[in-house]
Amino acid sequence: MPVDAPGLDDGVTAVAHPNIALVKYWGKRDERLILPVTDSLSLTLDAFPTTTTVRPDPALSTDEVTLNGIAAEGEAHRRVTTFLDLVRARAGSTERAAVTTLNSVPTGAGLASSASGFAALAVASAAAYGLRLDATALSRLTRRGSGSASRSIFGGFAVWYAGPEDDAGDDRARDLASYAEPVSAELDPALVIALLDTGPKAVSSRAAMKRTVGTSPLYRPWAESSRADLAQMREALLRGDLEAVGEIAERNALGMHATMLAARPAVRYLSPASLTVLDAVLELRRAGIPAYATIDAGPNVKVLCRRGDADRVAGAVRAAAACRVVVTGRGPGARLHSGVR
């Protein structure tokens, strides 16, 4: 081993990228196991990586979690500890850990920070505690931290299976049936991200999806239509049909926001600036540029287009909304960075 190679004393480091769903995950049927109501499908990005180091330490009496140099407290700390408890239980360890995370994406702004965050945490902690898991098992484990994170284990396009909705079986069988895997695609698009507001959202996506499932009369129809969207999306990806991929992604996302707007009380992540960008996207299409919008649990709009059109799309979005714009594309799956056992 070279003298400057990081040893296990320095912990295990992993890197993961966020993913943006083209067919959304919105709603759980089991909160504890994080089993979704519907399958979802996403593109892992080549921007905004999260780098996380996990260092088990017998001297610690509690997990020490640092996020961008600041000690995590409350819910953020609890979610990390709950996840590490799962890893420790499987590894037969009681050792607490120091966890250091550098997130290059704004946290809690609907920019998939929990996806890259929990994917990096899962890969680093599984290795740090000596669990040997294949990618499928890793995606299942990651799901328990944050549902969408299960998809960030894989690069490019990935599908996350909900498992059978009428599953009355034991927890182990239900857990096994919900995992992510790569999706074949003849498409390498750009995703232009309009950073309209990078502050944390008022309602967490976890709370918002729970309220939507529980109270929105539009939820079931959307979930039903999402099944057809997913099947058609897979075919469109295989054909490399950007227009079809974009149309399905846009309708699925706007439908998801409709379910939230109909929740009681309403959950509204869309802002006036979001609508301005939606208008700019329509204008681009009228001008013959295939560009399609998707929006997550926040006001920021992501625009799917051909790589060759990305600069023009970025310019149009910037001019319309006077915002920072980042051009992204397909990125890699979560991976170990150093300190591999």
In whole angstroms, the minimum distance from the beta carbon of 327 to ligand 2P0 comes to 20
Q: What is the DSSP letter of 46?
A: S
In whole angstroms, the minimum distance from the beta carbon of 26 to ligand 2P0 comes to 6
Residues that bind ligand 2P0 (CB under 6 A): 21, 24-26, 34, 40, 114, 146-148, 205-206, 296-297
CB nearer to ligand 2P0: give 53 or 178. Answer: 178
In whole angstroms, the minimum distance from the beta carbon of 193 to ligand 2P0 comes to 14
> 3-state class of 145 per DSSP?
coil
Strand partners, 23: 41
The whole-angstrom separation of Cα 25 and Cα 115 is 12
CB nearer to ligand 2P0: give 17 or 55. Answer: 17
In whole angstroms, the minimum distance from the beta carbon of 169 to ligand 2P0 comes to 21
CB nearer to ligand 2P0: give 293 or 297. Answer: 297
Helix spans in the chain (H): 74-91, 113-128, 135-143, 171-176, 205-215, 219-239, 242-261, 272-286, 310-321
Strand partners, 56: 97
In whole angstroms, the minimum distance from the beta carbon of 203 to ligand 2P0 comes to 12
The single residue listed with the structure tokens 């979005």 is: 317
CB nearer to ligand 2P0: give 39 or 247. Answer: 39
CB nearer to ligand 2P0: give 26 or 292. Answer: 26
Q: Which residue is nearest to ligand 2P0 (CB)?
A: 147
CB nearer to ligand 2P0: give 42 or 100. Answer: 42
In whole angstroms, the minimum distance from the beta carbon of 74 to ligand 2P0 comes to 16
Q: What is the DSSP letter of 246?
A: H
User: For the chain, how many helices (H) and strands (E)?
Assistant: 9, 16
Cis omega before residue 49 (within 30°)?
no
CB nearer to ligand 2P0: give 55 or 144. Answer: 144
CB nearer to ligand 2P0: give 114 or 139. Answer: 114
Greatest CA separation found in the chain?
A: 63
In whole angstroms, the minimum distance from the beta carbon of 80 to ligand 2P0 comes to 12
* Helices 205-215, 242-261: inter-axial angle, 10-degree rounding: 70
In whole angstroms, the minimum distance from the beta carbon of 22 to ligand 2P0 comes to 9
Q: How many CB atoms lie within 10 A of CB 102?
A: 16
Phi-psi region of 80 (alpha: psi -120 to 50; beta: other; left: phi over 0): alpha
The single residue listed with the structure tokens 């991976």 is: 335
